[in-house]
Amino acid sequence: MKRLLALAAAPLALACMNASAQSMKPGLWEHSFTMKSGSGQTEKAMADLKKQMAAMPPDQRKQMEEMMAKGGVSMGSGGNSIKVCISPEEAARMDLPLQDGNCKQEITQRSASSIKFKFVCAGNPPTSGEGEATFTGPTAYTSRVVVNTVAQGKPERMESSSTGKWLAADCGALKPVKR
Residue 173 in domain: no
**Per-residue pLDDT reduced to its tens digit, 44-56:** 877 888 888 889 9
Global pTM value:
0.68
Residue 12 in domain: yes
160 pLDDT exceeds 80?
yes
Higher pLDDT, 69 or 139: 139
Its domain, for residue 66, covers 2-168
In this structure, what CATH number is given to the domain that contains residue 73?
2.40.160
**Per-residue pLDDT reduced to its tens digit, 4-28:** 555 555 444 544 444 444 577 899 9
Q: How many domains does the chain have?
A: 1
pLDDT at residue number 177? 67
pLDDT at residue number 22? 56
Residue 174 in domain: no
Residue 105 in domain: yes
Query: 165: burial class by Cβ within 10 Å (0-12, 13-18, 19+)?
Result: middle
Residue 20 in domain: yes
